[in-house]
Amino acid sequence: MIKEAEMMRQSDLQRKELVTVKNDIDTLIYETNKMLDANKAQLSAEIVKKVTDLIEEIKPQLNTENLKTLKDLHSKLNTESMEIGREIYKNASSDSKK
C-alpha cells in the first residue's frame, strides 16, 4: 500500500508540473500579446512577426503531454518576450536622447 501511494505521489507531482508549465506558457502568451499590442508602434515589424509566429506555433502544442517540449517552448517564448522589452527600452532611450 505504501509503494502504491508513493507511485501515485510521483505521478501526481509530474502531472502538477505539467499543468504548471502549461499555465505558465498560457500566461506568458497573454502577457506577450498584451505587450505587443501596447507597443506595436515602437517595435520593428520583424520582431512583431517573429513573436506572433512563435505564439501561433506554440498554441497547438499546449495539448502535448511532453514536459520537455513544453519547457523548451516556454524558454523560447520567454527569450523572445525579453527581446520585445529590450527593443522598447532601446527605442525609449534613443527617443529621450533627441
- DSSP for 50-95, written as a single string: HHHHHHHHHGGGGG---HHHHHHHHHHHHHHHHHHHHHHHHHHHHH
- Residue of higher predicted confidence among 98 and 62: 62
pLDDT of the residue at 97:
63
Give the H/E segment covering residue 46. helix 45-58
| Residue 94 confidence class, pLDDT cut points 50, 70, 90 | confident
Is the CB of residue 69 less than 8 Å from the CB of residue 43? Answer: no
pLDDT per residue over 35-92, tens digit each?
999 998 889 999 999 999 999 999 999 999 999 999 999 999 999 999 999 998 888 8
Domains of the chain: 2-97 (1.20.1270.10)
Global pTM reads 0.85
pLDDT at 15: 93
